[in-house]
Amino acid sequence: MAIFTGAGVAIVTPFNKDESIDYDRLDELIDYHCSHGTDSIIICGTTGESATMTEEEHIACVKFTIDRAKGRLPVVAGTGSNCTKTAVEMSKEAADYGADGLLLVTPYYNKATQAGLIAHYTAVAKEAKAPIIMYSVASRTGCNIEPATVAALVKDVDNIVGVKEASGNISQVAKIMELTDGNVDLYSGNDDQIVPLLALGAKGVISVLSNVAPKETHDICEKFFQGDIAGSRDLQLRALPLIEQLFCEVNPIPVKRAMGLMGMDCGPLRMPLTQITAEHERALDKAMRDFGIPMA
């Protein structure tokens, strides 16, 4: 059974003015998603600025989210690293604490061959006793998981169950589903491609859009699952202008500002990320209003 179906939010990490984690605001966000249709919380991913967290902050944030969301929503913990040993340690800790699943991005900067990816994911899966979703986003890591590699890992390693596909390459996604006979939990990693991936057999999306439009993102998936393909497609297309603005600068710069515009200020970004430009903020504000997002 899949860790979740539908729309999982790649949740932002709120910071205080001193850039420490704002757990009070995180608590509020968890409650918000539990009551607004979100199907899962993905904590400490790219959108959560995990790249600038210490390992201690990272696992504390994961533990807090599991404690607050357990029994209400499945929690998937981002525990990837470009160091296999670090990924093993964080994944074991998150799994032992009760994460429903783990999201492991491909090693970044040092990258890896396909054989290296097999060794990396197999090593983590051997030690961390939780279902693992691999995360393929070569635009950020410089490292693509080839379809044959996905198929080999899903076939040979029991607790490697899925892939978050953010390559943007529909042909690659189709090849993954062919080589696995559809026996893989596929999640869209791009909000503008939810419906195309659902059509190929995806279980849902790991979504930035869900931070500001959780019910609508859920509904894109749910309508598709219920056979209302036209309704799902129409909602996907209506969301495109907002999705474009949520990625007008590198994620999570726009979405964090969007939260502020909704009255849910999530504090500063950690450098090297910087605040959104005034021009982009105006366009983001307009797209949110046009989509019907409640504004502060």
Q: Which helix (H) or strand (E) holds 40?
A: strand 40-43
DSSP string over 155-191: HH-TTEEEEEE-S--HHHHHHHHHHTTT-SEEEES-G
Contacting residues for 145 by C-beta, under 8 A, at least 6 apart: 106, 114, 117, 134, 136, 163
Residue 131: closest CA among 108, 107, 106, 98: 98
- Give the residue numbers annotated as catalytic, written as ranges: 135, 164
C-alpha dihedral (79, 83, 84, 88), degrees to nearest 10: -40
Query: How far apart are the C-alpha atoms of 193 and 278, rounded to whole Å?
Result: 28
Query: How far apart are the C-alpha atoms of 29 and 50, rounded to whole Å?
Result: 17
Residue 147: closest CA among 129, 116, 170: 170
Contacting residues for 275 by C-beta, under 8 A, at least 6 apart: 253, 257, 268, 269
Asked if residues 71 and 94 have their Cβ atoms less than 8 Å apart, the reply is no
Query: How far apart are the C-alpha atoms of 186 and 201, rounded to whole Å?
Result: 7
Contacting residues for 234 by C-beta, under 8 A, at least 6 apart: none
Q: Which neighbouring-strand residues pair with 162?
A: 133, 185
